[in-house]
């Protein structure tokens, strides 16, 4: 991607009571990093899978063959002085997460995540949640650390804009004092 992440929520078909197969249901949530620059030559990949994966495209699109899965991908300088780290844990509870690394002198206010898709967005108790008819996403409380002082930095999600009619939300972050 050159803009962000596409999340797909899929309910694979099951036979109905008469043995007929039903259609696959799916929902798509698009997350774009507003104003970010995601360049292929700034991508560092860690922990490749030992096998390849094949993806069938939508009708009229070409399948993608021989795709590797990585445990961690780091994209450097998505904003000036800010890196984006995406990681996948395939343990007993598979999980996907992402972190932003804000280097000294960088402006964390540049980080803006624009979400768009069918469903509902909620921020409650410093946690962010998205839900649709097939599933959802949950972002726990933010963990921000000032590495120079090795101390936590107060932080919370901040709604920058919301358009309910088009199911669109732009999130930023409020940070306390840091060096």
pLDDT at 163: 92
Which DSSP state fits 146? Answer: E
Sheet with 120-124, edge to edge strand ranges: 120-124, 127-132, 135-139
The residue among 173, 170, 174 whose CA lies nearest residue 31 is 170
Note the pLDDT tens digit of each residue in 35-63: 999 999 998 888 877 777 766 666 667 77
Which residue(s) pair with 156 in the sheet? 174
Comparing 58 with 100, the larger pLDDT belongs to 100
Contact between residue 14 and residue 23 where contact means Cβ atoms under 8 Å apart = no
Question: What is the average pLDDT score of the chain?
Answer: 84
Q: At a CB cut-off of 8 Å and minimum separation 6, what does 38 contact?
A: 1, 2, 3, 4, 75, 78, 84
């Amino acid at each position: 991607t050159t803009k962000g992440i596409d999340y797909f929520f899929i309910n694979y078909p099951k036979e109905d009571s008469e043995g007929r197969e039903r259609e696959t249901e799916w929902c798509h949530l698009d997350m774009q990093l507003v104003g970010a620059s995601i360049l292929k030559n700034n991508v560092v990949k860690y922990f490749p899978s030992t096998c390849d994966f094949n993806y069938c495209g939508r009708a009229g699109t070409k399948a993608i063959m021989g795709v590797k899965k990585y445990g961690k991908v780091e994209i450097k300088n998505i904003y000036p002085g800010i890196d984006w780290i995406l990681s996948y844990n395939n343990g007993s509870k598979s999980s996907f997460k992402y972190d932003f690394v804000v280097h000294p002198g960088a402006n964390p206010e540049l980080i803006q995540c624009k979400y768009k898709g069918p469903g509902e967005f909620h921020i409650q108790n410093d946690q962010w949640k998205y839900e649709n008819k097939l599933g959802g996403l949950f972002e726990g409380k933010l963990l921000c650390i000032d590495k120079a002082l090795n101390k936590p930095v107060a932080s919370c999600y901040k709604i920058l804009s919301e358009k309910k009619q088009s199911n669109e939300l732009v999130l930023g972050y409020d940070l306390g004092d840091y060096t």
